[in-house]
Amino acid sequence: MKTAVLITIGDEILSGNTVDTNSNFIATQLKEIGIKVLSIFTIPDEESTIVSTLAMAFEMADVVFTTGGLGPTKDDITKKAYADFFEDEMIFSDEIYEHLRAYLEKRKRLWILEHNKDQAMVLSKAKIFLNYFGTAPCMILEKNGTYCFSLPGVPYEVKPLVKDQIIPFLKEKLSLDHIVTRIVSVVDIPESILSETIEEWELALPKHISLSYLPVGTRVKLRLTASGSSQELLNTELENEITKLFLLIGENIIATQEDKIEKILGELLTEKKLTISVAESCTGGELAHLITSVSGSSNYFLGSVVTYATQKKIDLLNVNPKTVEEFTVVSEQVASEMAIGCQNLFKTDISVSTTGVAGPGKGEDGKDVGTVFYTIRIGNQETTSKLFLPHLERLDFMNFVSQKVIQDIVSLLIKK
Amino acid sequence: MKTAVLITIGDEILSGNTVDTNSNFIATQLKEIGIKVLSIFTIPDEESTIVSTLAMAFEMADVVFTTGGLGPTKDDITKKAYADFFEDEMIFSDEIYEHLRAYLEKRKRLWILEHNKDQAMVLSKAKIFLNYFGTAPCMILEKNGTYCFSLPGVPYEVKPLVKDQIIPFLKEKLSLDHIVTRIVSVVDIPESILSETIEEWELALPKHISLSYLPVGTRVKLRLTASGSSQELLNTELENEITKLFLLIGENIIATQEDKIEKILGELLTEKKLTISVAESCTGGELAHLITSVSGSSNYFLGSVVTYATQKKIDLLNVNPKTVEEFTVVSEQVASEMAIGCQNLFKTDISVSTTGVAGPGKGEDGKDVGTVFYTIRIGNQETTSKLFLPHLERLDFMNFVSQKVIQDIVSLLIKK
């Protein structure tokens, strides 16, 4: 199996100012063509460190990526390190300069061309992929059969360069094994019990099929990865293994293809031709955002409201002020009335509501931080549940609750 | 300055299934107490790799963190690697077992105790920090003056362990310099021009103050970091440098303290005692989510609607069907009517609307993917703008637009 090492160059990542999402994207893309990432090294913008890390990566892998360290204010160090490691010199590329000029002209920013012209300096041995969404090009270098790609750091520049240019290039240059992956989503069983229940099956897996456990909230994703020369055969083999898994934990499996719970929901809603709407309080828009993050969600998601202020729950969702008074705003009764109001407002088959306290700081009614009630209405049947998650920080809380609500809708729809 | 190396153990990160957010959190926490992260190594669950990476990290830094590789199904490999590297043996800890028992009992999951009891096995030389939000404890080991912390991989378990136990421990054990950081947010000037404009100032910065550029969307964050023995002196020095910066690029500066644009907005709204509401289409809840991600946002954020379906824009926001017919749903006219409708619905000082096509796939009206119009109403004054971002993937598009909208509200409020 071909292997890769990713090198992330960036003080902003080491200082915690930026989360590195490029590595994740590149790893996902490489996995799809059967290249395994051995390690990710995140290092500072220092010439000597870049050189020594490149050397280490070239010892380890068939493909090396660097991201970051390029751009008008940082170019120098990274390119010097490249020139040093590849024993090469920098030349001015007319092709890149012309591309840069056209790029800036199109964006009415030609006046910054002179300030950016050093971006047309590249190693003399480098092949170039032009960057259509930014100013720093990607250099491709080869040394002892290992390919190296220098990428900028901006995620929306990295994505098309990798997807449209690097992946096709690697497919052509390396003779790659096929990789097939299936994700089995398992709910309502703790990881330790799950691993005992399926232990025998796991031990009997053929060598070219690997299994990993990925817990996400209250769900465990089992990832099966198979590698070999025939994609069709690999598909059949994985299908067979999943069939065996169904005999062991069938009632805990909610999906066997998709990875993301919001996509699983999207497929179910599309298949069953159902519409959904959302009334949020403590999740503050995250639940709607998760649902709409799926391309095509406009076919089943009609809309949502975030009623943060209690009065808006009354005005928009027709929650009865007496219910709020009697049970407080964080209660199963209010959750239920919000869901009914939401279903009436948007006229959807399914409606969901959340009301709780994300914290930090006590909610208006004094209930403990971390409490949330949520109601799922499917047609005229409703289920209200409570979660208590005082250990989660605000954003983690919003995300955990939203994931769990969607997971519950999926479970309910499957059982129907 | 004391230094750290972070080691992330996890096939799930190398395969692209999970984004590593722990390193970011730990780096941020360490920066606050003046410990600099030199490198982050992400490696597979392999005993020999763990051992060699630990060895490399111990050569480099004063503090080493490992995250991941612990938990009921993965314990063995990581702990064996630790035992090997620290030349130690595993012992059963009654204290941890008792904690685990109490933890599971409280969660009504005592039935899984036997399956998890190996988590009470730790190195004999290790000091232990108990994990109050999960089952895997943190081991603290010391070798040649370097401290090593073994953490689980689940972010909500990592956060309190680091914040409440490890950081206070490090503060006591190491004599640390003070670190003061200021973030200056700059808009409406390209990075290359910015760097030329402030070059002289930058070159004149004293050696203990460092500067870095962090572009985020259309904003550039300038991070100034100063280290020294007197926190008060550092604060004064940074304040002076920022005053000089104002003389050069004052009209481009929108904030000098906060890092996140949604927090900058929150502070402005609180200070000016203004309320806000949101009507979203193509941003699908992300704009509301960003605003409500700030603790205390319930004081100024009254609510929002996501009107994905055109009919809901008409029903809820009172958009005129004729406007939709004449100009299409993705138009400045519809954006404007949505903002007016939103302000009437929520009775807020400020309202914002977005209408566009996040893609992929053409919108209902055939407009190009990546187009968005947004209106900001402050009182009865409104500004409508257009963005065209065809290069962004769906989620990046939603986030970019939401960030830009908030940035524009901030600019408008500052100029008022």
Residues A159-187 pLDDT 10s: 999 999 999 999 889 878 888 889 999 99
Q: Cβ contacts (< 8 Å) between A296 and chain B: which residues?
A: 361
Report the alpha-carbon distance of residue B394 to residue B385 in Å, rounded.
20
Residue B137 has pLDDT above 70, yes or no: yes
Report the alpha-carbon distance of residue A309 to residue A54 in Å, rounded.
54
Query: What count of Cα atoms within 13 Å lies in the side-chain half-sphere of residue B277?
Result: 26
Contact B20, B42 (CB under 8 A): yes
**Cβ pair B112:A192 closer than 8 A:** yes
Report the alpha-carbon distance of residue A34 to residue A21 in Å, rounded.
20
**Cβ pair A295:B19 closer than 8 A:** no
Point out the residue among A43, A292, A316 whose CB comes nearest to the CB of B308.
A292
Q: Cβ contacts (< 8 Å) between A291 and chain B: which residues?
A: 284-285
**Cβ pair B17:A44 closer than 8 A:** no
> Mutate which of B6, B8, B40 to disrupt the A interface (most A C-beta within 10 Å)?
B40
**Cβ pair A73:B195 closer than 8 A:** yes
Report the alpha-carbon distance of residue B126 to residue B135 in Å, rounded.
17
CA distance B215 to chain A (A): 9
pLDDT of residue A91: 94
Report the alpha-carbon distance of residue B123 to residue B307 in Å, rounded.
56
- Please give the structure tokens belonging to residue B281: 């289409």
Residue type, B76: D
pLDDT of residue B161: 96
Point out the residue among B24, B73, B160 whose CB comes nearest to the CB of A391.
B160
- Please give the structure tokens belonging to residue A78: 């990274």
What parts of chain A have a pLDDT lower than 50? none
Report the alpha-carbon distance of residue A31 to residue A217 in Å, rounded.
24
Eight-class DSSP state of A394: H
Point out the residue among B36, B293, B358 whose CB comes nearest to the CB of A394.
B293
Token pair 């730790």 in the structure block, residue: B122
| Torsion from C-alpha of A224, A225, A231, A234, nearest 10 degrees | -50
> Mutate which of A50, A220, A305 to disrupt the B interface (most B C-beta within 10 Å)?
A305
Q: Cβ contacts (< 8 Å) between A14 and chain B: which residues?
A: 27, 36-40
Chain B residue closest in CA terms to A362: B296
Chain A residue closest in CA terms to B60: A49
- Please give the structure tokens belonging to residue A274: 């159902």
ipTM score here?
0.78
Report the alpha-carbon distance of residue B398 to residue A286 in Å, rounded.
12
A226, A344, A325: which is closest to A279 by C-alpha?
A344
Point out the residue among B19, B40, B133 whose CB comes nearest to the CB of A24.
B19
Point out the residue among A39, A116, A359 whose CB comes nearest to the CB of B192.
A116
Helix/strand/coil for A53: helix
Q: Cβ contacts (< 8 Å) between A188 and chain B: which residues?
A: none
Report the alpha-carbon distance of residue A74 to residue A246 in Å, rounded.
53
Residue B107 has pLDDT above 90, yes or no: no
The DSSP result for B42-73, as a single string, is EE-S-HHHHHHHHHHHHHH-SEEEEESS-STT
Q: Are strands B209-216 and B138-143 parallel, antiparallel or unpaired?
A: unpaired
Report the alpha-carbon distance of residue A243 to residue B332 in Å, rounded.
53
- pLDDT category at B12 given cuts 50, 70, 90 is confident
Report the alpha-carbon distance of residue A203 to residue A219 in Å, rounded.
22
Report the alpha-carbon distance of residue B253 to residue B104 in Å, rounded.
51
CA distance A298 to chain B (A): 6
pLDDT of residue A74: 59
CA distance A164 to chain B (A): 12
Helix/strand/coil for B113: helix
Eight-class DSSP state of A34: T
The tens digit of pLDDT for each residue in B217-248 reads 889 999 998 988 888 999 999 999 999 999 99
Q: Cβ contacts (< 8 Å) between A132 and chain B: which residues?
A: 391
> Mutate which of B5, B17, B167 to disrupt the A interface (most A C-beta within 10 Å)?
B17
The tens digit of pLDDT for each residue in B163-172 reads 999 999 998 8
Chain B residue closest in CA terms to A288: B285
Point out the residue among A19, A303, A394 whose CB comes nearest to the CB of B305.
A303
Query: What Rg, from alpha-carbon coordinates, does chain A have?
Result: 26
Which strand (E) or helix (H) includes residue B226? strand B219-228
pLDDT of residue B73: 65
- What is the mean pLDDT of the segment spanning B32-50? 93
B298, B296, B308, B254: which is closest to B276 by C-alpha?
B298
**Which residues, 6 or more positions from A91, have their beta carbon under 8 angstroms from its beta carbon?**
A121, A122, A123, A124
Report the alpha-carbon distance of residue A251 to residue B413 in Å, rounded.
55
What CA–CA distances, in Å, run from A55 to A42, A50, A52, A360, B136? Answer: 14, 9, 5, 47, 36
Contact A28, A183 (CB under 8 A): no
A88, A86, A106, A87: which is closest to A98 by C-alpha?
A106
Give the number of other CB atoms < 10 A from CB of residue A380.
Answer: 7
pLDDT of residue A112: 79
- Please give the structure tokens belonging to residue A384: 């209200």
Helix orientation angle between B47-60 and B75-85, rounded to the nearest 10 degrees: 50
Report the alpha-carbon distance of residue A330 to residue A316 in Å, rounded.
17
**Which residues, 6 or more positions from B39, have their beta carbon under 8 angstroms from its beta carbon?**
A14, A41, A42, A43, A44, A49, B5, B6, B57, B60
Report the alpha-carbon distance of residue B165 to residue A282 in Å, rounded.
29
> Mutate which of A262, A292, A299, A316 to disrupt the B interface (most B C-beta within 10 Å)?
A292
Report the alpha-carbon distance of residue B39 to residue A43 in Å, rounded.
5
Helix/strand/coil for B15: coil
Q: Are strands B3-9 and A301-307 parallel, antiparallel or unpaired?
A: unpaired
Report the alpha-carbon distance of residue B260 to residue B310 in Å, rounded.
32
Residue B196 has pLDDT above 60, yes or no: yes
The rounded mean pLDDT for chain B is 91
Q: Are strands A146-151 and A219-228 parallel, antiparallel or unpaired?
A: unpaired
Contact B300, B276 (CB under 8 A): yes
Give the number of other CB atoms < 10 A from CB of residue A97.
Answer: 16
The tens digit of pLDDT for each residue in A290-337 reads 999 999 999 999 999 999 899 999 999 999 999 999 999 999 999 999
The DSSP result for A135-173, as a single string, is SPPEEEEEETTEEEEEE-S-HHHHHHIIIIIIHHHHHHH
Point out the residue among A133, A287, A308 whose CB comes nearest to the CB of B301.
A308
Interface A–B counts its CB contacts (< 8 A) at 282
Give the number of other CB atoms < 10 A from CB of residue B337.
Answer: 24
Token pair 């008409």 in the structure block, residue: B314
Q: Cβ contacts (< 8 Å) between A278 and chain B: which residues?
A: 306
Report the alpha-carbon distance of residue A302 to residue B320 in Å, rounded.
18
CA distance B333 to chain A (A): 20
B390, B389, B393, B330: which is closest to B363 by C-alpha?
B330
Report the alpha-carbon distance of residue A67 to residue A158 in Å, rounded.
8
Residue B364 has pLDDT above 70, yes or no: no
**Cβ pair B221:A292 closer than 8 A:** no
CA distance A212 to chain B (A): 8
Token pair 């009209």 in the structure block, residue: B251
Q: How far apart are the first and last CA of chain B?
A: 43
Chain A residue closest in CA terms to B157: A391
Helix/strand/coil for A22: helix
The helices-and-strands tally (H runs, E runs) of chain B is: 17, 17
Q: Are strands B371-378 and B381-388 parallel, antiparallel or unpaired?
A: antiparallel
The helices-and-strands tally (H runs, E runs) of chain A is: 17, 17
What CA–CA distances, in Å, run from A43 to A85, B12, B18? Answer: 16, 21, 20
B215 cis-preceded (ω within 30 degrees of 0): no
**Cβ pair A289:B112 closer than 8 A:** no
Q: Cβ contacts (< 8 Å) between A118 and chain B: which residues?
A: none
**Which residues, 6 or more positions from B345, have their beta carbon under 8 angstroms from its beta carbon?**
A316, B277, B279, B305, B316, B317
Report the alpha-carbon distance of residue B221 to residue B224 in Å, rounded.
10
Query: What count of Cα atoms within 13 Å lies in the side-chain half-sphere of residue A311?
Result: 7
What CA–CA distances, in Å, run from A148 to A32, A45, A77? Answer: 19, 18, 17
Q: Cβ contacts (< 8 Å) between B8 and chain A: which residues?
A: 40
CATH numbers and ranges of domains, chain A: 3-173 (3.40.980.10), 178-255 (3.30.70.2860), 261-415 (3.90.950.20)
